[in-house]
Amino acid sequence: MAIKTTLKVLGVAVAFAAASQASAEGNRYDRERYYHSEISVAQAYLWMEHSKDFKNVPGQAKPVLVDVRTLREYAGGHPEDAYNIPFPNITGFSPEQTQDPLKFYWMVYDLVGGDMDRPIMLLCRTGSRSIRAGNVLANPELEAATKDRGLQPFTNVRNVWEGYVGLNLYAFTPLPDPNKPLDLNNDGVINTDTADVHTQTKDANPDKDGWRNFAGLHWTTRIQKPLAYERDPGLYKALNLTPVP
């Protein structure tokens, strides 16, 4: 009898703990999401690399990586095969040009040839803007510009969790301690963002967990016409960015 009572009490305690434990959305900003899921920079990179052989594998849809950062940020470095469709801002300079959510939706639609099930991965600086972009694609009814237009949702959208630059990570003591950022590259200091391509863009920071930083994944500054915003490399040249000496 004592054993049964103890087990019953333990069961109630476990159930209470499970019920009281809050569940975050999964993206690092705990924002509401309607897209498929999160994906790490490592997974995104491997998926893109493996997909180069998909043309020889029947039924395998090649994923698309869309960089939603501004023209200025994209010019300062991006994953090699990433398309640039800026959202919600376009140039990265003041006064800023904002991207129409409806135009963004249709540009992605054209990119995937109307295949609403095509795997789409969205990348921004830290995984924030890409959340909103993912929600626009997965649930067009959320935005006033795309609402009540009968737009179909994209079913296979993923948010690249860390982003291109990333954020600092913190020691667990036992919870993340904002007073204890991690020195990931073990150089004795917590590094700040620095410019290493153009003076206007500070993306380099080995203590941040993004694509080009701690993850150490391949990136390039080459602007290819098929991948450029509106297929126009001239838009980036018109920014007159200043190279780092």
From residue 73, give the alpha-carbon distance in Å to each of 8, 61, 62, 92, 148.
58, 28, 25, 7, 33
Indicate whether 19 belongs to any domain: no
Which of 30-39, 56-65, 162-171, 209-218 shows the lowest per-residue confidence on average (mean pLDDT)? 56-65
Supply the mean pLDDT for the chain.
90
Instruction: Say what the pLDDT of residue 54 is.
Output: 62
Instruction: Say what the pLDDT of residue 131 is.
Output: 98
Please give the full DSSP string across 69-99, using - where no structure is assigned. S-HHHHHT-B-TT-EE---SBSSSSSSPPBP
pLDDT surpasses 50 at 125: yes
- List alpha helices for the chain, DSSP H: 2-20, 41-50, 71-75, 101-111, 129-138, 234-237
Using pLDDT thresholds of 50, 70 and 90, give the confidence band for residue 22: low
From residue 94, give the alpha-carbon distance in Å to each of 98, 186, 244.
11, 36, 21
Taking only the tens place, the pLDDT of each residue in 175-184 is 889 999 999 9
Indicate whether 106 belongs to any domain: yes
Indicate whether 6 belongs to any domain: no
Between strands 176-181 and 170-172, the pairing is: antiparallel
Taking only the tens place, the pLDDT of each residue in 74-106 is 999 999 999 999 999 999 998 889 999 999 999
Among the listed residues 235, 36, 38, 7, the one whose alpha carbon sits nearest the alpha carbon of residue 128? 38
Number of domains in the chain: 1
Domain harbouring 232, CATH code? 3.40.250.10
Indicate whether 243 belongs to any domain: no
Furthest-apart CA atoms within the chain: distance in Å: 81
pLDDT surpasses 70 at 9: no
Please list the residues that pair with 123 across neighbouring strands. 67
Are the beta carbons of 190 and 142 closer than 8 angstroms?
no
Instruction: Say what the pLDDT of residue 189 is.
Output: 96
Are the beta carbons of 35 and 25 closer than 8 angstroms?
no
Query: How large is the average pLDDT for residues 62-80?
Result: 97
Instruction: Say what the pLDDT of residue 55 is.
Output: 64
Residue 230 structural domain: 32-237
Indicate whether 59 belongs to any domain: yes
Query: How large is the average pLDDT for residues 137-161?
Result: 97
pLDDT surpasses 50 at 202: yes
Which of 18-22, 86-90, 112-116, 202-206 shows the lowest per-residue confidence on average (mean pLDDT)? 18-22
pLDDT surpasses 60 at 18: no
What percent of the chain is modeled with pLDDT above 90?
Answer: 81
Indicate whether 23 belongs to any domain: no
Instruction: Say what the pLDDT of residue 235 is.
Output: 98
Using pLDDT thresholds of 50, 70 and 90, give the confidence band for residue 244: very high
